[in-house]
Chain A
Amino acid sequence: MFGYVTPSKGELKIKNWNLYQAFYCGVCRSLGKRYGQKARLLLNYDTTFLAILLAGLKKNYYLKDGRCFVKMKKQKFAYGDPVDMAADINVLLAYYKSQDDWKDEKSIGGLLGKALYGFSAKKASTRHKEIDLAIREMSKGVELVESTNCQSPDTAAIPFREMMRALAEYTMKNEAQTPEIADFCAKLGKWIFIIDSFDDLESDIKKNRYNPNTSQAKMYSVEKVLFDADAIMCMYMQDLAEAYEKIKFEDEQLAEIVENVVFAGLLEKTESVLRGCSKFCKKRE
Chain B
Amino acid sequence: MAVSNPYEVLGVKRGATPDEIKKAYRNLVKQYHPDRYKDNPLSNLAEEKLREVNEAYEMLSNGNSGNAGNTYTQSGTSTYAQIRAAINMNNIILADDLLNRMSERTAEWYFLKGVIAAKRGDYAEAQTNGRQAATMDPTNQEYQQFINQINNNSQGFRGNSYNRGYGAGGGGGCCDCCCKLWCADSLCECCGGDLCSCF
Contact = CB atoms under 8 A, between A and B. Distances in A.
A255 to B, nearest CB: 12
Interface stretch (A58-66, A111-119, A227-235): A227-235
A234 B156 contact: yes
A231 B128 contact: no
Interface residues of B, number: 37
Contacts of A153: 124-125
B151 A228 contact: yes
A278 interface: no
B2 interface: no
B125 A154 contact: yes
Interface string B115-135: 001000111111110010000
A11 B154 contact: no
Interface in B156-193: 156-158, 160-161, 164, 166-170, 180
A237 B156 CA distance: 10
A220 B156 CA distance: 26
B170 A284 contact: yes
Interface string B48-59: 100000000000
A155 B167 CA distance: 33
Interface string A127-165: 000000000011011001100101011111011001101
B48 A148 contact: yes
Interface string A183-207: 0000000000010000000000000
B122 A264 contact: no
Contacts of B152: 231
A264 B44 contact: no
B39 A162 contact: yes
Contact of B43 (A158, A212, A231, A271): A158
Contacts of B160: 238, 241, 263
Contact of A267 (B41, B117, B127, B158): B158
B150 A140 contact: no
B128 to A, nearest CB: 6
Nearest to B154: A234
B161 A267 contact: yes
Contact of B45 (A144, A154, A162, A263): A144
A154 B119 CA distance: 13
Q: What size tier do the contact residues of chain A reach? A: 35 or more
A8 B41 contact: no
B44 A158 contact: yes
B41 A138 contact: yes
A104 interface: no
Contact of A11 (B40, B41, B166): B166
* Closest 9 A/B residue pairs (Cβ): A154-B122, A234-B154, A141-B41, A232-B123, A234-B157, A264-B166, A153-B124, A235-B123, A238-B157
Interface of A: 8, 11, 137-138, 140-141, 144-145, 148, 150, 152-156, 158-159, 162-163, 165, 194, 212-213, 216, 220, 228-239, 241, 259-260, 263-264, 267-268, 271, 284
29 contacts: A140-B42, A141-B41, A144-B44, A148-B48, A152-B128, A158-B44, A165-B39, A212-B124, A230-B154, A231-B123, A231-B150, A231-B154, A232-B126, A232-B150, A234-B153, A234-B156, A235-B123, A235-B150, A235-B154, A235-B156, A238-B153, A238-B156, A238-B160, A238-B180, A239-B121, A241-B160, A260-B166, A263-B161, A284-B170
Given A153-B124, A238-B160, 16 more contacts: A8-B166, A148-B48, A153-B125, A154-B123, A158-B43, A163-B41, A212-B124, A228-B131, A231-B123, A232-B127, A234-B153, A234-B154, A235-B123, A235-B153, A235-B157, A271-B168
Interface of B: 39-45, 47-48, 117, 121-128, 131, 150-158, 160-161, 164, 166-170, 180
